[in-house]
Structure 1
Amino acid sequence: MKKFLIFCVSFLLAKECSCLLDTLGSLGIGKNGTSPLEKFNPKDLAGATKDAVIGIGKQIPDSIPSPETIFSFGKNMLAGLPVEVAFDVINQACSATLSQKQVKPKYLPELASMNFQLRTCRGNFFIPMNSPVSLLTHPAFDTSKDTAILVTGWFSNVNSTMENDALETVWEAYKCRGDINFVAMDTGAYVDSLYTWSAFNTDEIGRLIAEGLVEMLKAYPKEKIHLIGHSLGAHIVGAIGRYYSDLTSELLPRITGLDPASPCFNEGENLNMLARGDAVFVDVIHSNSGVLGKKDPVGDVDFYPNGVAPLPPGCLTITCAHARAWEFFAETVYPGNGNAFLATKCNSITAYNSNKCPGKRIPMGIDCPNNAKGNFFLRTNRSRPFGLHSLKESEIVCSRCEHTTTA
């Protein structure tokens, strides 16, 4: 294949050079004449052509797509892109409806019906969100540790029994890590109804939670808080950050968005979405770009595993692709796995695959540096472990359970 491509390129270049020389000759260029280009030397062109052919020959191995790349492209052309087009139509229809203020949620959020769910290796404990200080005084909450707060997406709340649900998967990783308080937001039925109602509720839920955090963070350093949201949950944590800033004139330290929901959320329209500026540092992982998840960059740093495509390797459905974001993040939480996904700042996955992005690699996920800026690309495996640099399951050592309370 390489020799064939070099031959084709050489033939085409030689033909173009021959035609150019004939043309130059007919104009008297390169001969003893009065042309301003009389210093032109055809041998120089021949030498440059030779150098170009050699350079192209060296570049061709990087330019030939691998069988996996060809399969991924074909899969996205046949399955992913038609779905992307369909969801773009849905998104436009949703935007038009919202702009006319025709959508009103059936259930308006009430703080009294929402809870913090503190998870420990000894059990799960519900603390009313309208009594946030009770979370800090709970015997299972360790005020010396940092706190990760997770908000999941549509039809995926704390009562979900779905296998491999986002909450369960992320919690298992934090439980193994053992050095962080893990809190899930129980948003009740407010993101469990008709999608447009749920989307409409994200801003109000964020406002209510932010009010609770203001009280909680009077007795707990805000620098210890890390907000994480998947899908609709990503927009909820964005709203939390914005309202917290409005209420305190301060920013929370970090928000991580896991494939922020795309339908109905567009910049400059009625529904506010997660955006850079909602926290000191906003990092985003995209896994179902242009369908269920946002395609455009929205954070300080945006990661595009396997490129800006609807379906990553190993997925044939959009729900599988949408879930990859939290699966990727959870994998990085396990002890020793912070560098499981190393990404490079780049313009596209094609440039990344061709080794045309020589910048420093940074970790995607929990250990992402908070000074990272721009769009980063990387490759992943088709199945667990997804990270190219992940530890094997047998190599991961989980911490011992330190909680003794049975409250």
Structure 2
Amino acid sequence: MKLFAVICALLVAAATANPLYRNEETGAEFVNSTVVERNTEDWQLVPDTDGNLHMVNIKAVDLSNEPAFNAPTDIIFRLFTRQNPTAAQTVQLNNNAQLTASNYNPALQTRFHIHGWNGGGAATGANIRTAWLNAINCNVFTVDWGAGAQTPNYIAARNRVNAVGAVIAQYIDWLNQSRGQSFAGVSVAGHSLGAHCAGATGKRTARGRVQSIVSLDPAGPLFSVGDSANRVHHTDAVHVENIVTDAGNLGFADPVGHANFYPNWGVNQPGCAGSTCSHSRVNDFFQHSINMNNVFGATRCRGFADITSRNCVANGASRRMGGEPVIDGTSPALTVFFLTTGATAPFAHGPR
């Protein structure tokens, strides 16, 4: 056990000492643009929804003791509005009686929040939910897939991403069909594995296209650049915003959205002691950005290489990160932005 703890500590130290990036198409890994070699290992450090690290054998899948997960019935949708900002109303998929009895208003903007691995419960996404309700009069649905995410088996949780996304897509289609919810009024935000769930949602809506997706430091382990069908991608919504805070360690390094933001080069966030904090800090950034008085101004760079070399050369109009609404309609796919932040709330340094 002591040896195991030492190995974990060494891996954490290695991950946090240098910003590591990996190109999944070529397999090249580099620190500050210098290519490095690494031995292939079955065991990896993987973050849960709070950024806590777990050692996971990514090649060993044992589902014999894994509880069954039925996404359509096990996912809990909790509705919050300005009429019930803290007391959730449960509205399950295709339950018209619950929907009619709730405070849901199809004339308002609608927001969805999705947690990551080992997340779930009534308090999931509370800070972002509250920020949305303070900023605009809207419907907020928190998506609790804890029955599938709360497992020590990361691979099992990762393999449920598409099933979770399919149910959320059905939910949005149902709101559109039964109450006239406009797809132009829907935004879906997810953290870590939840970011990929958001992408899976956008891929699977049948009656329209989700307006925006906010990918909050999408999980890196077991996701690859070359497999866009099974991860968040810029085609999943009219606008996909991607915020990367722990690139190449716990988060997915490469740009995947239209606007891709790399606060503090996407690693080693100020005020954080390591990857655990940096991976979670993205939620704080997004929460505070929803208050439009907190402007996270960002410089548009020439491309991802500017981030890895830590030399962002201005190449186009600057813009804010996050906010409400997130979409600006001016960023082509895979556009890259750089910004700095503070170490404490509300973090924003203002316009650039």
Q: TM-score, normalised by structure 1?
A: 0.66
Partner Cα distance (1:78, 1:149) in 2: 32
Which of 1 and 2 has greater Rg? 1
- Seen in structure 2, the aligned counterparts of structure 1 residues 146 and 204 have a Cα distance that, compared at 3 Å, is same
1:381: how far off? 0.9
1:283 aligns with 2:236: no
Partner of 1:213: 172
3-state SS, counterpart of residue 147 of structure 2: coil
- Seen in structure 2, the aligned counterparts of structure 1 residues 76 and 284 have a Cα distance that, compared at 3 Å, is farther
Decide which of 69, 73, 86 is 1:108's aligned counterpart. 69
The CA RMSD over aligned residues, in Å, is 3.2
Decide which of 211, 217, 223 is 1:259's aligned counterpart. 217
Contact 1:203 1:271 in 2 (8 A): no
1:351 aligns with 2:311: yes
Partner Cα distance (2:97, 2:223) in 1: 34
Partner of 1:342: 298
Q: Deviations for 1:5-38, whole angstroms, at most 9, x for unmatched residues?
A: xxxxxxxxxxxxxxxxxxxxxxxxxxxxxxxxxx
1:183 aligns with 2:141: yes
Letter in 1 for 2:88: F
Decide which of 182, 186, 194 is 1:225's aligned counterpart. 186
1:254: how far off? 1.0
| Pairs aligned (count) | 300
Partner of 1:236: 197
1:201 aligns with 2:160: yes
For structure 2, which runs of at least 5 residues remain unmatched after alignment? 1-11, 22-28, 30-37, 46-54
Q: Deviations for 1:59-82, whole angstroms, at most 9, x for unmatched residues?
A: xxxxxxxxxxxxxxxx99783439
Partner Cα distance (1:156, 1:320) in 2: 16
3-state SS, counterpart of residue 119 of structure 2: coil
Contact 1:151 1:228 in 2 (8 A): yes
- Higher percent of residues as helix: 1
Partner Cα distance (2:67, 2:39) in 1: 24
Partner Cα distance (1:138, 1:342) in 2: 43
Map residues 1-400 of structure 1 onto 2, 5 A cutoff. 79-81=16-18, 89=41, 90=43, 97=59, 102=61, 104=63, 106-121=67-82, 122=84, 123-131=86-94, 133=96, 136-159=99-122, 167-193=125-151, 194-218=153-177, 219-244=180-205, 247-248=206-207, 250-268=208-226, 272-309=230-267, 311-337=268-294, 339-347=295-303, 348-349=306-307, 350-352=310-312, 356-357=313-314, 359-366=316-323, 367-373=326-332, 374-389=335-350
Q: Deviations for 1:357-392, whole angstroms, at most 9, x for unmatched residues?
A: 1532111102441331311111111111211029xx
Contact 1:83 1:291 in 2 (8 A): yes
3-state SS, counterpart of residue 262 of structure 1: coil
Q: TM-score, normalised by structure 2?
A: 0.75
Q: Deviations for 1:268-317, whole angstroms, at most 9, x for unmatched residues?
A: 459811111111211100001111110011112211111143x1121112
Partner Cα distance (1:213, 1:238) in 2: 14
Contact 2:117 2:157 in 1 (8 A): yes
Contact 2:75 2:147 in 1 (8 A): no
1:211: how far off? 1.8
Moved more, 374-383 or 84-93: 84-93
Partner of 2:52: none
Letter in 1 for 2:297: F
Partner Cα distance (2:39, 2:229) in 1: 17
Q: Deviations for 1:38-93, whole angstroms, at most 9, x for unmatched residues?
A: xxxxxxxxxxxxxxxxxxxxxxxxxxxxxxxxxxxxx9978343988899844699
Letter in 2 for 1:345: C
3-state SS, counterpart of residue 189 of structure 1: helix
- Seen in structure 2, the aligned counterparts of structure 1 residues 326 and 132 have a Cα distance that, compared at 3 Å, is farther
1:132: how far off? 5.4
Q: Deviations for 1:207-232, whole angstroms, at most 9, x for unmatched residues?
A: 12212221211121111110111111
3-state SS, counterpart of residue 160 of structure 2: helix
- Seen in structure 2, the aligned counterparts of structure 1 residues 103 and 239 have a Cα distance that, compared at 3 Å, is farther
Partner Cα distance (2:196, 2:89) in 1: 23
Partner Cα distance (1:371, 1:103) in 2: 46
Contact 2:300 2:316 in 1 (8 A): yes
- Seen in structure 2, the aligned counterparts of structure 1 residues 97 and 267 have a Cα distance that, compared at 3 Å, is farther
- Seen in structure 2, the aligned counterparts of structure 1 residues 269 and 189 have a Cα distance that, compared at 3 Å, is same
Partner Cα distance (1:239, 1:78) in 2: 28
Contact 1:230 1:260 in 2 (8 A): yes
Q: Deviations for 1:336-371, whole angstroms, at most 9, x for unmatched residues?
A: 33x33333234425323xxx3153211110244133
